[in-house]
C-alpha cells in the first residue's frame, strides 16, 4: 500500500524550462530579471534558503543582488535599503528574510517596499490582493508553491473539500484564500480547533502548516485524500522534518513530503514572480502598473 509521492523537484523542473525561456526572451530585450535579497545576520535557515534561491536564479538566468546587514541594523538603515531598491530600475523584485530583529517595526519595513517589487506577498497591497482575489500583487511564495504542486500533478481543486491547518499570513491564510479562489470548500483549523484530525480525515486536500513536528498522525489521514506538508521542523536527531508523520502520510492517495516537497518549489515560484515583475516593469508591456 502507499500513494503517490508529490516530489517538489518534478514541479520545479517543469517550471524551470518555462522560466528559462521567459528569462531568455527578456534578455533578448536587454533586460536581466534581477532579485534583491535583504538578509540580516547569518541565520542557518536564511543562509540555506538564500543558497537555494541563488542557485535557482543562476540556472534560469536571473540576477541576484544581496544586501546583507548586521543584526544591530537600525530601522532607518533598513528603510534606506528598501528605498534604494525601490528607486533602482534594474531591480525587479525583493525578498526580505524575516522575522526582523526586535525593535524594528516589521510592518513598516514590509510596507516600505514598492508593491510592484513585492515578489513574496509581504506588503499590504499584496495581501489585499490575496484576500480579495484582485489586485496586481504576488501571493507569498510558499502558499503559491502548494497550488503549483496540486496543479502540476493534475489534482482537482474546484468543488473539493480542503482543510488548512495554520493561519499565518505567510502560509495558512493565503493558501486558504487561494484554494477558495479555485473553488474549493475551505476549512481553516488552528491550535484552538477541537478536532483537527476529524476535519482532515474528511478532506480531499489537506495543507498542514502548523510548525509542529509530528502534529498530524494516522488519525489525520484520509486514504483517498491528498496531503501537502508545509511544516519545517528539526527532529530529535537533528534532521529536517515536516508536521506530518511520514509513515502515516504515505497511506494517503498522494503526499508531498518534507523535505522534498513544497520547499523545492518555493524558490521556483520566487523566480517566476521576479521574471513576471521584470516583464511588467518594461515600458512596452501591456498592463504595466
* Contact residues for a second copy, defined by CB under 8 A: 107, 124-125, 127-128, 130-132, 134-135, 158-159, 161, 167, 169, 173, 177, 180, 183, 185-190, 192-194, 199
Task: Tell the smallest beta-carbon distance from residue 177 to a second copy (Å).
Answer: 8
CB of 161 to a second copy, least distance (A): 8
Residue whose entry in the numeric block shows the C-alpha cell 495558512: 172
CB of 191 to a second copy, least distance (A): 9
Q: Give the nearest distance from C-beta 173 to a second copy in angstroms.
A: 7
Least Cβ distance, residue 2 to a second copy (angstroms): 28
Nearer to a second copy, 56 or 173 (CB): 173
Residue 244 CA to residue 258 CA, distance in Å, equals 8
Specify the residue, 61 or 172, whose C-beta has the smaller distance to a second copy: 172
What values do phi and psi take at 34, rounded to 5? -135, 130
Residue closer to a second copy, measured from CB, 216 or 264: 216
Inter-residue long-range contacts of 243-246, CB under 8 Å, 24+ positions, other chains counted: 243/165, 243/208, 243/209, 243/210, 243/211, 243/212, 243/213, 243/214, 243/215, 243/216, 244/208, 244/214, 244/215, 244/216, 244/220, 245/214, 245/216, 245/217, 245/218
Are 104 and 78 contacting, i.e. CB atoms less than 8 angstroms apart?
yes
Assess contact for 262 and 142: CB atoms under 8 A: yes
Which CB sits closer to a second copy, 28 or 192?
Answer: 192
Phi and psi at residue 71, to the nearest 5°: -60, -20
Q: Which is nearer to a second copy, 65 or 167 (CB)?
A: 167
User: To the nearest whole angstrom, how small is the minimum distance from the Cβ of residue 194 to a second copy?
Assistant: 6
What CA–CA distance (Å, rounded) separates 71 from 48?
18
Spatial distance between the Cα atoms of 261 and 113, rounded to a whole number of angstroms? 29
Type and span of the H or E element at 70: none
CB-wise, 238 or 286, nearer to a second copy? 286
Amino acid at each position: 500500500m502507499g500513494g503517490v509521492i508529490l516530489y517538489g523537484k518534478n514541479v520545479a523542473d517543469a517550471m524551470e524550462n518555462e522560466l528559462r525561456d521567459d528569462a531568455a526572451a527578456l534578455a533578448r530585450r536587454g533586460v536581466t530579471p534581477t532579485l534583491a535579497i535583504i538578509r540580516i545576520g547569518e541565520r542557518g535557515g536564511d543562509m540555506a534558503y538564500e543558497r537555494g534561491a541563488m542557485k535557482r536564479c543562476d540556472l534560469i538566468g536571473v540576477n541576484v543582488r544581496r544586501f546583507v546587514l548586521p543584526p544591530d541594523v537600525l530601522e532607518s538603515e533598513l528603510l534606506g535599503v528598501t528605498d534604494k531598491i525601490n528607486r533602482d530600475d534594474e531591480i525587479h523584485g525583493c525578498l526580505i528574510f524575516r522575522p526582523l530583529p526586535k525593535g524594528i517595526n516589521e510592518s513598516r519595513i514590509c510596507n516600505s517596499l514598492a508593491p510592484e517589487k513585492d515578489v513574496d506577498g509581504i506588503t499590504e497591497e499584496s495581501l489585499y490582493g490575496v484576500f480579495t482575489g484582485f489586485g496586481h500583487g504576488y501571493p507569498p511564495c510558499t502558499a503559491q508553491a502548494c497550488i503549483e504542486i496540486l496543479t502540476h500533478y493534475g489534482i482537482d481543486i474546484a468543488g473539493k473539500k480542503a482543510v488548512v491547518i495554520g493561519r499565518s499570513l505567510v502560509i495558512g491564510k493565503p493558501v486558504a484564500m487561494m484554494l477558495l479562489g479555485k473553488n474549493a470548500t475551505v476549512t481553516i483549523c488552528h491550535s484552538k480547533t477541537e478536532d483537527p484530525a476529524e476535519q482532515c480525515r474528511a478532506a480531499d486536500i489537506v495543507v498542514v502548516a502548523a510548525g509542529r513536528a509530528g502534529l498530524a498522525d494516522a488519525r489525520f489521514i484520509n486514504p483517498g485524500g491528498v496531503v501537502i506538508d508545509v511544516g519545517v521542523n528539526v527532529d530529535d536527531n537533528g534532521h529536517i522534518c515536516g508536521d506530518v508523520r511520514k509513515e502515516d502520510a504515505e497511506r494517503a492517495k498522494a503526499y508531498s513530503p518534507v523535505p522534498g516537497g513544497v520547499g523545492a518549489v518555493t524558490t521556483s515560484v520566487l523566480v517566476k514572480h521576479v521574471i513576471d515583475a521584470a516583464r511588467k516593469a518594461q515600458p512596452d508591456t501591456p498592463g504595466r502598473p
